[in-house]
Homo-oligomer: A and B are copies of this chain.
Amino acid sequence: MLSKSAEYALRATIYIALKGSEDNKLGIDEIATAIDSPQSFTAKILQLLTKNNNVVSSVRGPNGGFYLTDAARKLPVRAVLEAVGENGVLTKCVLGLKECSETRPCPMHEQYRTIKAQLRQMFEKTTIHDLAEETRKGKIVINNRLVKKK
């Protein structure tokens, strides 16, 4: 469904939203461990999230790390996907046809249209904050284990 890059991006962003703040920035080692992702690779992805779309903020140096601004928390999940170049799910034809469109639809087009609309809804209506909040409620998982309530 999504690339690993996108998965790591989402998990990292949720984790940062959940545990980090402007005065509690999170280091890449903590993040990667928490979400069970390869550290250096995750660092690259966070670079994308910081510069491509300002989803994540960062500062270097001691006590540096990653965090989310309040504005960033209000961003839709789609912003994360876009930052890592993963918007194809919402735009491309299921059969991979370049010219598939409403006027020249592929044989799965009509059925997929509804699904695509719901995917769009999910990615656009749900914010990073929403996901962090779900996680905070405890019944929810990141990295194959429950995230402790604060």
Chain A positions within 8 Å of B, measured between CB atoms, are 1-2, 4, 7-8, 10-11, 14, 77, 88-89, 92, 94-100, 104-109, 111-112, 114-115, 118-119, 122, 126, 130-132, 134-135, 139-146
Max count, chain B CB within 10 A of own CB: residue among A107, A112, A145: A107
Whole-angstrom CA separation of A126 from B112 in the bound complex: 12
Whether A144 pairs with B97 at a CB distance below 8 angstroms is yes
Cα distance, A114 to B114, chains bound together (Å): 12
Q: A1-B92, A107-B132 are in contact. List 8 more A-B contacts (CB 8 A).
A: A10-B95, A99-B145, A107-B134, A107-B135, A107-B140, A108-B122, A111-B122, A111-B126
